[in-house]
Amino acid sequence: MAEATQDQTPTYVEKGKAFDRDMNYIPDRITKDGRTPEHGPTDVQLWPVEPGRYRLVAAKACPWANRSIIVRNLLGLEDVISLGMPGPTHDRRSWTFDLDPGGRDPVLGIERLQEAYFKRFPDYPRGITVPAIVEESTGQVVTNDFPWITHDLFHEWRDFHKEGAPDLWPAHLREEMDAVNKRVFTEVNNGVYRCGFAGSQEAYDAAYDRLFTALDWLEERLADRRYLMGDALTEADVRLFTTLARFDAVYHGHFKCNRNKLTEMPVLWGYARDLYQTPGFGETIDFDRIKAHYYVVHTDINPSGIIPKGPEPEVWLQPHGRG
């Protein structure tokens, strides 16, 4: 990410370069009794699962944070892990709690998420990202490693899942699901950003081709199954949904992902509406916040700051025919 002065919004496009996401996050894990987990990074600080100890800070505007809100809902962890919600826009310094009275998170008492990061790492050198989990008693950030946050909400907090919570990580599908998740992340979740933040025509063209190759693959894969992994909802669906939900409102125009709209891909559009209408999904989507985030924060792509009025959100409530 290119530098900006402290009070400016950041710049995202580096002329002549392809977009390369920084995937270095605070790798700590929250596990049952602080145990060593079977999957993922283990040479990290381990924190114990404990209801009421942690606050998930997640902006509805952000797709990576949105997935954590959905998983928390699906598993019934609302009374176990509290939720703090920053507003949709931010500057280079941090996400801010401008939706809360007085502009402060009511539990953590902070104006900027940056304060929780600096409380633990005074010289934290990277971006202040959401989702982040913060320890309520100390106000210190625990982790912002978004892929493992939702993974661990399922595997490590099982004792506190609601009755009938979905099996988001079926053991017999683990290997195939890891492969599907990898392709969805690299080609779709991050693929739209590679288009939007491309710094050259060549980088954009390559990113565009990769994105739509993957979307065509998904259109074909979902033609004979309701969900990505078969007949049951998994986290693979959560991960894809947050990109699809933003596609026509943001990525099609703002990020130049304009071969076609989501509404013009009949299988993916039906699938996306199916998920949107599933409890735990649609109520986490706020199109006004989503559009405000992208069109206001990305001043190097949209210098006017004008936020488009459409598309109409009511189309997401049309029958999907995938039951």
Active site residues: 62, 193
Distance CA 149, CA 294 (A): 24
> Is the preceding omega at residue 63 within 30 degrees of 0, hence cis?
no
The tokens for 238 are 């959560």
3-class DSSP state for residue 301? coil
In this structure, the number of other CB atoms found within 10 A of the CB of residue 274 comes to 21
Which of 194, 188, 193 has its CA nearest to residue 212? 188
CA angle, 201 then 206 then 211, to 5°:
125
Can you tell me the distance from the alpha carbon of 233 to that of 270, in angstroms, rounded to the nearest whole number? 15
HSE-up (13 A, CA, CB side) for residue 254? 28
Task: Identify the H or E element spanning 213.
Answer: helix 201-221
d(CA 122, CA 319): 51
Q: How far is Cα of residue 199 from the mean position of the Cα atoms in its chain?
A: 23
138 touches 119 (CB < 8 A)? yes
- Round the CA-based radius of gyration of the chain to a whole number and report it: 19
Q: Which residues of 46-76 are buried (b: 16+ CB within 10 A; e: fewer)?
A: ebebbeebbbbbbbbbbbbbbbbbbbbbbbb
- For residue 95, say whether it is annotated as part of any ligand binding site: yes
Q: In terms of Cα–Cα distance, which of 87, 88, 125, 83 is closest to 108?
A: 83
| Binding site listing for glutathione | 95
Annotated binding-site members? 95
